């Protein structure tokens, strides 16, 4: 019989009347069940979190940091246990799954250390009125309160830790909702917080389908801040429901790799393929299109094709580069994009093969802007090459996207790379490297429909704390 996982609420592990069965996307193995929480149970959990807030926020940063260091130690100790389930639950290569757990421990530790270094400031009155010279403001940060942290299936553990740890070190209490496909991994992450001995109510979990309880938890009056990573449509919905409450959204992307004539094409091809096909393309920061100058396009296409053909296709436990996608709907969506490009005349450089959710890597050359692949986020192993005749055209196509997460520029000419970076409507530009989130202390943000707010350990703590000033007059 598969294991029955429980939610952690107010210091206790709890079941719900309804349950959701979780199966491995790669081979349909039954992995266990998680509770589908009712609205009444959510209310109880929210009340417990609220009640735990005063004592938690009154602890010193050092005391809160000590709990987080313990969590990080436990995750490092349990990296293989959690990684093994994570690998099965989201069909991620085993080594990558273990490294996601270790990366999460690193973020938690970094957040603990960053919190200890937080400081306020003292300001002197600055207007021209004589009396203002007497005024002093003591400016400090205080927690926003109850933070709702929602993570996506592709990094259910890491993109939970990147929200939970900065929230907790800032003095907030947390309601963590993992993705349904990824919720067992999320609950294993929760076990680390439990073992570290956090006081009851400070950290709680909510499982259940987003389509059923998502609106309820986002609109819940006890929630003071929603920190979400996932798709743009769900992020937009959260934005509507959040009202005046602050939110942080990490959403979809259509990252471009812009390749100039003077680029090191061998390096570019390796970076582009690693960026496009890591975890089968199921990364927000995946390279999702190549915009290459026409004069070097033939050579680059050959080099990228050679790298793509080296990718292994198989099962997560074998650490294959390309593994089955998260579900059938995802594979159907990608097949639709591929068929659209083929029908409209793109040149297929690899053969399209699909077995259930497993799609072999797809590379298209001569993709044009009338094709869906030029604009839509596949979240799968397909890469379009779009040929351009000028830098201006590359920038224009890149900026025409509704998304604005990241971009890469490949060139030997650094001043030109900087000039291009300045014109790209994205949160981060990488020079001669693939698009990627890390390192996790860097600011991470999306322009346009790729998000709102800035993540990155220090930035996340700042976002989930608010400034309070105490002003007084000196004699």
Cα–Cα distance measured from residue 162 to residue 1, given in angstroms and rounded to the nearest whole number: 33
Nearer to ligand G3H, 222 or 255 (CB): 255
Considering the rule CB under 6 A, would residue 381 count as an interface residue with ligand NAP? no
Cα–Cα distance measured from residue 14 to residue 20, given in angstroms and rounded to the nearest whole number: 14
Nearer to ligand NAP, 75 or 247 (CB): 247
Q: How far is the CB of 184 from ligand G3H (least distance, A)?
A: 19
Of 165, 155, 418, 108, nearest to 278 by C-alpha is 155
Considering the rule CB under 6 A, would residue 251 count as an interface residue with ligand G3H? no
Residue 128: C-alpha distances to residues 121, 131, 132, 134, 171 (Å)? 21, 8, 7, 12, 37
CB-based contact 218:242 (threshold 8 Å): yes
**Residue of the chain from 88, 177, 437, 449 that contacts ligand G3H (CB under 6 A):** 437
Strands 382-388 and 406-410: unpaired
Dihedral of CA atoms 350, 356, 357, 358 in degrees, nearest 10, equals: -40
209 touches, from ligand G3H, ligand NAP, none (C-beta below 5 to 8 Å by class): ligand NAP
Considering the rule CB under 6 A, would residue 359 count as an interface residue with ligand G3H? no
Which residues, 6+ apart, have CB-to-CB distance to 224 below 8 Å?
144, 145, 146, 147, 172, 245, 246
Residue 356: C-alpha distances to residues 279, 281, 312, 316 (Å)? 17, 17, 17, 15
Cα–Cα distance measured from residue 6 to residue 400, given in angstroms and rounded to the nearest whole number: 45
Considering the rule CB under 6 A, would residue 443 count as an interface residue with ligand G3H? no
Alpha-helical (H) ranges within 8-93 are 39-58, 61-77, 79-89
Considering the rule CB under 6 A, would residue 380 count as an interface residue with ligand NAP? no
What is the size of the binding site for ligand G3H (CB under 6 A)?
8
Considering the rule CB under 6 A, would residue 430 count as an interface residue with ligand G3H? no
**Residue of the chain from 221, 233, 438, 443 that contacts ligand G3H (CB under 6 A):** 438
* Token digits of residue 26: 């790669």
Nearer to ligand G3H, 174 or 284 (CB): 284
x-or-dash string of contact with ligand G3H, 390-429, rule CB under 6 A: ----------------------------------------
- ω into residue 439 within 30 of 0, thus cis? yes
Residue 351: C-alpha distances to residues 124, 290, 342, 389 (Å)? 68, 19, 11, 28
436 touches, from ligand G3H, ligand NAP, none (C-beta below 5 to 8 Å by class): ligand G3H
114 as an active site residue: the answer is no
Of 44, 35, 47, nearest to 178 by C-alpha is 35
The one catalytic residue in 41, 89, 191, 284 is 284
Considering the rule CB under 6 A, would residue 283 count as an interface residue with ligand G3H? yes
The one catalytic residue in 114, 250, 307, 377 is 250
**Residue of the chain from 49, 192, 251, 293 that contacts ligand NAP (CB under 6 A):** 251
**Residue of the chain from 112, 284, 325, 394 that contacts ligand G3H (CB under 6 A):** 284
252 touches, from ligand NAP, ligand G3H, none (C-beta below 5 to 8 Å by class): ligand NAP
Considering the rule CB under 6 A, would residue 155 count as an interface residue with ligand G3H? yes
250 as an active site residue: the answer is yes
Considering the rule CB under 6 A, would residue 231 count as an interface residue with ligand NAP? yes
Q: How many residues does the chain have?
A: 475
Which positions are catalytic? 250, 284
Could you list the residues that contact ligand G3H (CB under 6 A)?
154-155, 283-285, 436-438
Could you list the residues that contact ligand NAP (CB under 6 A)?
150-155, 159, 177, 179-180, 209-211, 214-215, 218, 229-231, 234, 237-238, 250-253, 284, 377, 379, 405, 446, 450-451
């Amino acid at each position: 019989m598969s294991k029955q996982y429980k939610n952690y609420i107010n210091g206790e592990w709890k079941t719900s009347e309804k349950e959701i069965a979780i199966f491995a996307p790669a081979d349909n193995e039954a992995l266990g069940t998680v509770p589908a929480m009712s609205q009444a149970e959510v209310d109880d959990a929210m009340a417990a979190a609220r009640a735990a807030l005063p004592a938690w926020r009154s602890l010193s940063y050092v005391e809160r940091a000590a709990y987080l260091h313990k969590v990080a130690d436990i995750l490092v100790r349990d990296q293989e246990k959690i990684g093994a389930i994570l690998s099965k639950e989201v069909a991620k290569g085993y080594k990558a799954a273990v490294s996601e757990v270790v990366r999460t421990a690193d973020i938690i530790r970094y957040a603990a250390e960053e919190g200890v270094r937080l400081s306020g400031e003292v300001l002197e009155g600055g207007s021209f009125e004589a009396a203002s010279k007497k005024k002093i403001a003591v400016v400090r940060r205080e927690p926003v309160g109850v933070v709702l942290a929602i993570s996506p299936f592709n990094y259910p553990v890491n993109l939970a830790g990147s929200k939970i740890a900065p929230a907790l070190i800032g003095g907030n209490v947390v309601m963590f909702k993992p993705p349904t496909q990824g919720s067992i991994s999320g609950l294993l992450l929760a076990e680390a917080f439990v073992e570290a001995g956090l006081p009851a109510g400070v950290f709680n979990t909510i499982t259940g389908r987003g389509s059923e309880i998502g609106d309820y938890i986002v609109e819940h009056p006890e929630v003071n801040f929603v920190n979400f990573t996932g798709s743009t449509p769900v992020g937009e919905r959260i934005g509507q429901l959040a009202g005046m409450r602050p939110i942080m959204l990490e959403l979809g992307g259509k990252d471009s790799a812009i390749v100039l004539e003077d680029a090191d094409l061998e390096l570019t091809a390796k970076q582009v393929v690693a960026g496009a096909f890591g975890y089968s393309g199921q990364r927000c920061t995946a390279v999702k299109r190549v915009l290459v100058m026409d004069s070097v396009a033939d050579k680059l296409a050959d080099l990228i094709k050679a790298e793509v053909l080296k990718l292994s296709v198989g099962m997560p436990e074998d650490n294959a580069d390309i593994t089955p996608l998260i579900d059938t709907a995802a594979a159907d969506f990608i097949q639709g994009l591929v068929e659209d490009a083929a029908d409209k005349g793109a040149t297929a450089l690899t053969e399209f093969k699909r077995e259930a959710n497993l799609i072999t890597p797809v590379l298209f050359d001569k993709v044009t802007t009338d094709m869906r692949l030029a604009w839509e986020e596949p979240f799968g192993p397909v890469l379009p090459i779009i040929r351009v005749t000028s830098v201006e055209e590359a920038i224009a196509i890149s900026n025409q996207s509704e998304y604005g997460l990241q971009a890469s520029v490949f060139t030997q000419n650094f001043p030109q790379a900087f000039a291009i970076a300045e014109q790209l409507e994205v949160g981060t530009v990488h020079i001669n490297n693939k698009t990627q989130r890390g390192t996790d202390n860097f600011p991470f943000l999306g322009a346009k429909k790729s998000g709102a707010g800035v993540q990155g350990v220090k930035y996340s703590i700042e976002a989930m704390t608010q400034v309070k000033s105490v002003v007084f007059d000196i004699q």
